[in-house]
Chain A
């Protein structure tokens, strides 16, 4: 079932979406946006649409099947955007039989609206009391009104102020809004539509049906078995979370430090997963926290301050890096506070950290000054002129201050892996239709791609082929509603991919092969690139900023040296 919500007329309609059958997650959101949104439309205008969709496996109880996708034309990049998020909402939507909610038009009245989604349908309710509230207070108010079990997705003041890097915050299993559809400014699109929140209550929802339930259960068992057996998904991530990568990337010389001026941070261990884990345990916090129903990997966490009060959650590597190493800051408590502020105002931690790094490069504050960084983030919350610059992202910040070392692609900040020292991810940053996005090339399917033994992170050979295959596999996986991290087990345990394929086939009665699903991934990329071309963003934009090719990155003193002509071969399929 698909719902359409028109914010101009406040009308709600529903249909079966026959044109969108066989699609889920990123494949579905990108198909809807590319089919229904004029690529030339202004992202904050009436012609843009904001879509919330479930994955192919949402609501089925598939292991780690709790992701949902948001899509629109991005105000940050001007490209098509899919931003996906954990939490219980996708499971609840799946149990209500809802595959997509398409929000259209602009409101005629200046009042925040809430979409209330239940088994009875969707109601649009005015919520004047939520105006000006940030995300934690918004979520609390909505849980008080609609019940603690309701899943909430909402924007903060950054979204209300239509800042180009505003995110959408979602509640986790405990009801705290620690999950974000972070990238690309979809919170600003939501704000433009006057939509403060979406609330989903799945009471009287029904179990998802299967074409072959026994086959689905067998596939699910294969995947869960792999996730429980693999050291990444059963040991590394549950214990240390994604922030275990801080020490690893620093050691590899690929941890962007002080606005991408070095690849190694002397304070990496102070902000890394080992320290985060030890601190969380000491203060009664938690690692091994699952963000969505059926999560086996449990890479999330709950981080408390020195007094033992919860400060933040879902404290990930990307945030510890962007608000830490990229700013020369190694005080984990201050970084946690910054993470909380970003989550509360509703801005992307990656974009915010990189914007602050650019501002520090300009002398707005000194690298390493965590107290100054906290105050800068508060400017975003106050929507001062400086806060609006930072809230518009790293590229706008660079232009505002006349800085040349601005690490963005297609207007979106480059994440936590320097492309000079990890060249494969550099190819993905340069070419993905999303703008710089590490998760666009995250899915490793060794048995199909024959990866291994081919790439040296510091050399250009083999990186284009690897990135192409990673992007295709990731585009498929992002369409299932599975967490991308299941891919880590896929790399070493063939049964994991078998299980994923068997679950998708059994859910719908398909007989698709791995090649068929990879074709789905290719089609996602074709849809997205076609939209971008219509928006005037083409192959010429598939490159990294100039400084990556000219400035050597210590300690390996390498530049990004994959020729543009090679980057242009990524989508040769």
Chain B
């Protein structure tokens, strides 16, 4: 669907999708670029339930993420084990301005 993102949810957020009757993955039409926190607000998902947002397979963090129509997006809550929180970029220092 033009303008839609393909949205996935992992761990407890997958349960939330199911409880709400949402498919997983779910198509979601965006009017244009959306910031990470705005996407979560649009989905009515509390910010503290999302540690990282995959955008086309790369981890971004909610304060700096920008999602564009057509993106493949996945929401990952806190709780990802392993050094992969570091190796994949969940655990990082946010840049002073912008960036992901």
CB nearest to A492 among chain B residues: B91
Q: How far is the CA of A489 from the CA of B88 in the complex (A)?
A: 17
Residue A121 CB within 8 A of the other chain: no
How far, in angstroms, from A348 to B14 measured CA to CA in the complex? 31
B32 at the interface (CB under 8 A from A): no
Distance of A2 from chain B, by nearest CB (Å) = 33
| Residue of A whose beta carbon sits closest to that of B93 | A453
Shortest distance from the beta carbon of B80 to any chain A beta carbon, whole Å = 6
Give 1 or 0 for each of B2-29: 1 = CB within 8 Å of chain A CB: 0000001011101000000000100000
Q: In the complex, what distance in Å separates the CA atom of A444 from the CA atom of B14?
A: 27
B87–A231 CB distance below 8 A:
no
Judge if B46 is at the interface, Cβ distance under 8 Å.
no
Set B8, B80, B87: member contacting A244, Cβ < 8 A: B80
Stretch at the interface among A85-93, A248-256, A350-358, A496-504: A248-256
Complex Cα spacing A232 to B90, Å: 12
B80 touches A232 (CB 8 A): yes
Residues of the A chain whose Cβ atoms lie less than 8 Å from the Cβ of B92:
452-455
Chain B residues with CB under 8 Å of A153's CB are none
How many interface residues does B have (CB within 8 Å)?
A: 30
Which of A166-174, A234-242, A283-291 is the interface stretch? Answer: A234-242
Query: B72's closest neighbor in chain A, by CB?
Result: A251
Comparing A28-36, A40-48, A155-163, A417-425, the segment that makes contact with chain B is A417-425
Q: A134 to chain B: closest CB distance in Å?
A: 31
Is B86 interfacial (CB-CB < 8 Å)?
yes
Q: Check if B79 is an interface residue, CB within 8 A of chain A.
A: yes
Interface residues of B in 59-100 (CB under 8 A from A): 59, 74, 76-89, 91-95
Which residues on A sit within 8 Å (CB–CB) of B76?
A: 248, 251
Question: Given the complex of chains A and B, what is the CA–CA distance between A458 and B56 in angstroms?
Answer: 13
Please, how many residues of chain A have a CB less than 8 angstroms from a CB on the other chain? Answer: 48
Among B10, B78, B83, B89, max chain A CB count under 10 A is at B83
Question: What 1/0 flags go to A535-573 for Cβ under 8 Å of B?
Answer: 000000000000000000001100000000000000000
User: With A and B bound together, what is the CA distance between A232 and B14 in angstroms?
Assistant: 17
A245, B89: Cα distance in complex, Å? 14
Taking chain A's interface residues, is the majority helix, strand, or loop, or is none over half, making it mixed? Answer: helix
Most chain A CB atoms below 10 A, which of B14, B76, B94 = B14
Q: With A248-B88, A274-B14, A452-B92 as known contacts, state yes or no: A555 contacts B83, CB within 8 Å.
A: no
Q: Is A441 an interface residue (CB 8 A)?
A: yes
- What's the Cα separation between A252 and B58 when bound, in Å? 6
A456 and B10 within 8 A (CB): no
Q: Is B80's CB under 8 angstroms from A236's CB? A: yes
B57 close to chain A: CB less than 8 A? yes
Looking across the interface, which residue of chain A has its beta carbon closest to that of B91?
Answer: A452
The answer to whether B78 and A236 touch across the interface, beta carbons within 8 angstroms, is yes
**Shortest CB–CB separation between residue B45 and chain A, in angstroms?**
16
* Chain B residues in 8 Å Cβ range of A458: 58
Task: With CB as the reference atom, state the residue of chain B lying closest to A473.
Answer: B83
**Interface 0/1 of A345-387, CB less than 8 Å to B:** 0000000000000000000000000000000000000000000
Question: Which A residue sits closest to B10, measured CB to CB?
Answer: A247
A267 CB to nearest B CB, Å: 14
Determine if B91 and A491 form an interchain contact, defined as CB atoms under 8 angstroms apart.
Answer: yes
When chains A and B are docked, how far (Å) is the Cα of A465 from the Cα of B85?
Answer: 17
Residues of B within 8 A of A424 (CB): 83, 86-87
Most buried by A among B10, B12, B76, B87: B87
Instruction: Verify if A113 is at the interface (C-beta below 8 Å from B).
Output: no
B 20-57 contacts with A by CB, 8 A: 24, 54, 57
A491 touches which one: B59, B86, B93 (CB < 8 A)? B86
CB < 8 Å neighbour of A444 from B12, B24, B83, B95? B83
* One of B58, B82, B89, B93 near A488 (C-beta < 8 A): B82
Q: Is the CB of B57 within 8 A of A236?
A: no
A244-B12 Cα distance, complex, nearest whole Å? 11
A251 and B11: CB pair below 8 A? no
Is B87 in contact with A425, judged by CB distance below 8 angstroms? yes
Q: Which residues of B contact A491 (CB under 8 A)?
A: 85-86, 91
Chain A residue numbers with a CB within 8 Å of B74 are 247, 251
Q: Is A236 a contact of B87 with CB atoms below 8 Å?
A: no
Closest to A274 in B: B14
Q: How far is the CA of A487 from the CA of B82 in the complex (A)?
A: 8
Q: CB of A451 within 8 A of chain B? A: yes
The answer to whether A422 and B88 have CB atoms under 8 Å apart is yes
| Residues in B neighbouring A456, C-beta threshold 8 A | 89
Name the contact of A466 in the complex, choosing from B10, B79, B86, B88 (C-beta under 8 A).
B86
- Some 7 contacts from A to B, beta carbons below 8 A apart, are A236-B11, A245-B84, A248-B80, A425-B83, A441-B83, A457-B88, A458-B58
Question: Which residues of A line the B interface, CB within 8 A?
Answer: 231-232, 235-237, 239-240, 242, 244-245, 247-249, 251-254, 264, 269, 273-274, 299, 417, 422, 424-425, 441-444, 446, 451-458, 466, 470, 485, 487-488, 491-492, 555-556
Q: Which 5 residue pairs spanning A and B have beta carbons closest together?
A: A236-B79, A453-B93, A231-B78, A253-B57, A424-B87
